[in-house]
Structure 1
């Protein structure tokens, strides 16, 4: 399995497995962060299709510390910005069993996250607890 993580101003997936994105590919921003999206493309080999996998996507700072954004409703404490869940790695319609496929995912992040100036951040993507992709970006002086 291979993955690509890209940043966009906004993105939306559709039922055909396509992602529609605006402002795709940025690597520098200002703070507070406006609405943005994390786009993930998972390329699956035939033997990896038709399986369920654990996905974990998190935002960390340049020291590897999880970025906090929002509040955990169960503890009323600041919560790390993570996206986690199960993904069903399905074969795409019309593909032969020996063809690799690309599954696309889009995650929109609400505006307003305060980040530190002159700091690098990184989105880290793990599948089944294995780091398979990352995308970094910098915050310029406000």
Structure 2
């Protein structure tokens, strides 16, 4: 909800997360190791033994206050201000970021995971849009 208030034109979100958000306004109880498993799958597997967290969603007023604070912080931040780098590295030069990302195993892994997921979501979206266009043109 904060992204549009901060001026984001769009967000990229996977289908499984959207489905989880649509299932309930409740939060699943924390279980170590299953945070990546979609709630829909957990519900199906656990049935009646599935547990929800005991919490109360924030009120509309509380959410509005949180968004206002985030927007105020973003409004006072200087988007062009980057951390000072005094090692002489030109991070915008061709190949520099690729080399640094490849040298950091965790960054490289997370970047690969993110790009892989994005490619799947992009392909799925493209196929869906093409199917809609085919129906309209039929």
Measured against the shorter chain, the TM-score band is under 0.3
Larger radius of gyration, structure 1 or 2? 2
Tell me the TM-score normalized by structure 2.
Answer: 0.19
- Give the strand-richer structure, 1 or 2: 1
- Give the helix-richer structure, 1 or 2: 2
Tell me the TM-score normalized by structure 1.
Answer: 0.19
**Relative contact order, higher structure (CA 8 A, sep 6+):** 1
